[in-house]
Amino acid sequence: MSTSRTVADSSPIPSRRPRRVTPGRLFDDIATYTALLAVSAVFVFPALWLVLASLSKTGDLFSFRGFFPSAYSIDTFRDLFTNDVNGLYPYGKWFINTLYVAGVSSVLGTLLVILTGYVMSRFQFKGRDAIKKATLLLGIFPGFMGMTAIFIIVAQLGLLNRLEALILLYAGTAPLGYLVQKGYFDSVPGSIHEAAKMDGASQLTIFIRVTLPLSKPMIVYTALTTFAWPWSDCLLPQLLLKNREVWTVAVGLYNMPDQQFARFAAGSVFIAVPIVILYFCLVKYIVSGLTAGAVKE
Amino acid sequence: MMKSNLHGERKISPHVFLSAFVWGLGQLLYGQIVKGLLYLAAFAGALWFFIARGFRDIAGFFTLGTVQENLWLGTTGDNSMRMLILGLFALFALVFAGVIWYANVKDAAFTARQAARGNRPRGFRESLAAMADGKFHAAALVIPVVGVCLFSILPIVFMILIAFTNLGGEVVHPALADWSFAAWQKILSVGKVGATFVKILSWNVLWAVASTALNFFAGLSLALLLSKKNVRASKFWRSFPVVAYAVPAFISMLGFRFMFSQSGPINQMLTASGRDAVFFLSNVESAKWWARGIGLFVYAWIMTPSIMLMTTGILSNISSDLYEAASIDGASPFMKFRRITLPFILFSLTPVLISQFVGNFNNFGIFFFLRGGLQSNYADYFLASDTDLLINWLYNLSVDNNYYAIGAAISLVIFVITAVLSLAVYVNSKAYKTEDTFR
């Protein structure tokens, strides 16, 4: 623990009063930093384990010595795209499929959610209250209660084994989660809209020219969440996509056996790293989105 | 209705009357060609749909099929499930057609009023512009409402209805279904289904309470730890939980499944040190509490960071005056936490906690990804494992094993429980009671 002591003491902030090292403080510092190290280890270890496993030379989980591979190589990542083991693990195709589904649903879904949130926040009209109550009620139903029905509907539309079915479902149901966006628009002062209306702008113009540019943080947050959901959903694709070629990455990874552990790890790292980097860049927006549901003073 | 629109001065214009029967005809007679043709096309489409199949589908909704398949005679029978959903779709379409009819009549009446005042009827362009402005909210909500109706409400209504049929089990496609209460009798009776239901329900409640509490306190402690005055570089320390937060949840869960699997690293270390391997997540009965505990831990690992991020934001809102005043009064750090921090956080987070509780109650993913697999290994359970929550059981029943009616009845039970719980918690929460005074 001596290292953490020096970290704590060697960088005094000028504005602070100089601290006297009392036994109580020393004990508190040691306890605090021990806890911090422990917590960090708990959170970082599984991620580190997967990253190292993805670099293992042998693929089978059983060939590892304890947690870590006995030999390292970069080949697993190359195999991921070049060697699909007789069409069993066509990761490249899965990746393109996932990108397509998540990308298109994110664009459409974001547009619909923002529009819904904006209308529900700014307009008073007949049926507004009914819509609000209905969405609250729908939110209580267990998520995929209608799985069987969705399967039949998609089959009737002739969209089984088609990625477009997923896009329709993700983008079509995205507006149900409009409350966060509504909360955001509630907090934007209405005077700007009033001013634009005074100048004779139509509601459509106001939405495109005033609202959208003003709500960049919310658009970023919405785009991220509507992208992340199809990116990591496994249930709908598992239900609606039966051919291995049209699977998404999540379904593919779910169906990997112990013997393909390194392949699983490499595939996971490959899709997780961009998302992790994205989250780090946007953590500010995410926090504001997360707390949008909380009661504020 | 029309009369009130016309301020009771005039009789209903004959054009409006025409529009009420043949959509768009009134508009055409007023010279609104494009709009009239559009309404007329909608009318033709609706007529075609309902004559071609809509009315038959609605009839099928009530009968659920009358023709039994007969392979010897070569008659293709009715498919009850499909008839139910198509009938439901036709009913939705009927409502939708009604909405268009209403809009059409209202529009004709509007034009009639304009004409009576001597104004020229609006051109199509003007109508579009009016739509983009005065009716912006309606135009904007059309696609979201249709999407949600088709992919969210229709499936849910379908499932509710299924709960009152005898579909599933023996009664699948060639057999014809009927409306009945059989599924409810099965769940509420003392048979195997009823026993499984009670067992899963009690574990489900325990899981929801334990995981919500665990995640909340873990997240809160982490936020408090990071906001301690003697922590330097708290952004650096905070980045570790954020990594865990950013990794897609299914990857974390599958990763942990590999970690605790039969040939996984933990069991390898156990056997290397001369002990027996433990069945952590295997589908055997000895794994019951191991799997449940690991589920709690893994889910806390996934959820703690987001609670931490939320509470960090809220902690910074607490005025430091409160703490100083408490210090002057001689309050211990624990008292400060108990009397200031905790109530403040609870007040702010109650709505979030409720939705988390409901989410945890219906957490399909955790045991699906961690454990998944064979339900037949559990003698005391009907198509479920001892870690399955109601929602997993519902999935096993209706998606994997075609027990539609029982599955649907269970989803209704889940709905009632979560609705009552969240309402009760919400109404009793401080955030609700003092909302007006606090805001």
In this predicted structure, the answer to whether residue B414 has a pLDDT above a threshold of 50 is yes
Interface residue A268 vs chain B (CB under 8 A): yes
Residues from chain B that touch A40, judged by Cβ atoms under 8 A, are: 237, 240
> What single letter denotes the amino acid at residue B163?
A
State whether CATH 2.60.120.260 applies to domain B189-242+299-433: no
Query: Who contacts B239 (Cβ-Cβ below 8 Å, separation ≥6)?
Result: A280
Can you read off the two tokens belonging to residue A159?
């969209």
Mean pLDDT taken over chain B: 84
In this predicted structure, the answer to whether residue A169 has a pLDDT above a threshold of 90 is yes
Contact between chains at B268 and A44 (C-beta distance less than 8 A) = no
Q: What is the pLDDT of residue A85?
A: 81
Q: What is the mean pLDDT of residues B82-95?
A: 90
Contact between chains at B250 and A250 (C-beta distance less than 8 A) = yes
In this predicted structure, the answer to whether residue A21 has a pLDDT above a threshold of 80 is no
Q: Which of residues 202-231 of B touch A (CB under 8 A)?
A: 222, 225-226, 228, 230-231
> What single letter denotes the amino acid at residue A128?
R
Closest CB to B242: pick one of A138, A228, A280: A280
Backbone phi, psi, residue A65, to 5°: -90, 105
Q: In a mutagenesis test of the B interface, which of A28, A148, A222 is the best target, namely the one with the most B β-carbons within 10 Å?
A: A148
Q: Which of residues 203-232 of A touch B (CB under 8 A)?
A: 203-204, 207, 228, 231-232
Instruction: Mean pLDDT check: name the lowest of A22-36, A245-259, B68-82, B106-120.
Output: B68-82
Residues from chain B that touch A148, judged by Cβ atoms under 8 A, are: 155, 158-159, 162, 398-399, 404, 407
Interface residue B159 vs chain A (CB under 8 A): yes
Contact between chains at A149 and B259 (C-beta distance less than 8 A) = no
pLDDT for B7-28, tens place per residue?
A: 444 567 788 888 888 888 888 8
CB contact at 8 A, A43 and B240:
yes
Instruction: Mean pLDDT check: name the lowest of A165-169, B95-99, B118-122, B421-425.
Output: B421-425
Q: Give Cα separations from A255 to A167, A250, A252, B373 (angstroms).
A: 22, 9, 5, 11
For chains A and B, count residue pairs whose Cβ atoms are closer than 8 Å.
275
ipTM: 0.80
Can you read off the two tokens belonging to residue A110?
């974001």
Can you read off the two tokens belonging to residue A146?
């209608």
> What single letter denotes the amino acid at residue A126?
K
Q: Which of residues 249-308 of B touch A (CB under 8 A)?
A: 249-252, 254-256, 258-259, 261-265, 268-269, 272, 301, 305-306
For residue B25, the distance in angstroms to the closest alpha carbon of chain A comes to 27
Domain with CATH 1.10.3720.10 in chain B: 189-242+299-433
Contact between chains at A146 and B414 (C-beta distance less than 8 A) = no
Longest dimension (CA), chain B: 98
Closest CB to B129: pick one of A65, A138, A202: A202
Model confidence, pTM: 0.80
Contact between chains at B156 and A145 (C-beta distance less than 8 A) = yes
Q: What is the pLDDT of residue B214?
A: 96
Interface residue A152 vs chain B (CB under 8 A): yes
Mean pLDDT taken over chain A: 83
Q: What is the pLDDT of residue A40?
A: 93
Residues from chain B that touch A116, judged by Cβ atoms under 8 A, are: 140-141, 144
For residue B400, the distance in angstroms to the closest alpha carbon of chain A comes to 10
Interface residue B366 vs chain A (CB under 8 A): no
Distance CA A164, CA B411 (A): 28
CB contact at 8 A, B326 and B340:
yes
pLDDT for A63-83, tens place per residue?
A: 777 788 878 888 888 888 888
In this predicted structure, the answer to whether residue B105 has a pLDDT above a threshold of 70 is yes
Q: What is the mean pLDDT of residues A86-111?
A: 93
Q: What is the mean pLDDT of residues A248-276?
A: 89
Contact between chains at B85 and A149 (C-beta distance less than 8 A) = yes
Angle between helices A75-82 and A91-122 (to 10 degrees): 80
Contact between chains at B228 and A287 (C-beta distance less than 8 A) = no
Closest CB to B265: pick one of A64, A137, A271: A64
Q: What is the mean pLDDT of residues B278-284?
A: 84
Neighbours of B17 (CB within 10 A): 16
Q: What is the pLDDT of residue B430?
A: 58
Can you read off the two tokens belonging to residue B68?
């039994």
Q: Which of residues 34-53 of A touch B (CB under 8 A)?
A: 35-36, 39-40, 42-44, 46-47, 49-50
Q: What is the pLDDT of residue A10?
A: 41
Contact between chains at A125 and B137 (C-beta distance less than 8 A) = yes
3 state SS for chain B: CHHHHCCCCCCCCHHHHHHHHCCCHHHHHCCCHHHHHHHHHHHHHHHHHHHHHHHHHHHHHHHCCCCCCECCCCECCCCHHHHHHHHHHHHHHHHHHHHHHHHHHHHHHHHHHHHHCCCCCCCHHHHHHHHHHCCHHHHHHHHHHHHHHHHHHHHHHHHHHHCCECCECCECCCCCCCECCHHHHHHHCCCHHHHHHHHHHHHHHHHHHHHHHHHHHHHHHHHHHHCCCCCCCHHHHHHHHHHHHHCCHHHHHHHHHHHCCCCCHHHHHHHHCCCCCCCCCCCCHHHHHHHHHHHHHHHHHHHHHHHHHHHHHHHCCCCHHHHHHHHHCCCCHHHHHHHHHHHHHHHHHHHHHHHHHHHHHCCCHHHHHHCCCCCCCCCCCCCCCCCCCHHHHHHHHHHHCCCHHHHHHHHHHHHHHHHHHHHHHHHHCHHHHCHHHHC
Distance CA B1, CA A286 (A): 50
Domains of chain A: 16-82 (no CATH), 91-295 (1.10.3720.10)
- Considering just the CA atoms, what is the radius of gyration of chain B in Å? 30
- Which chain A residue is nearest to residue B128, measuring alpha carbons? A204
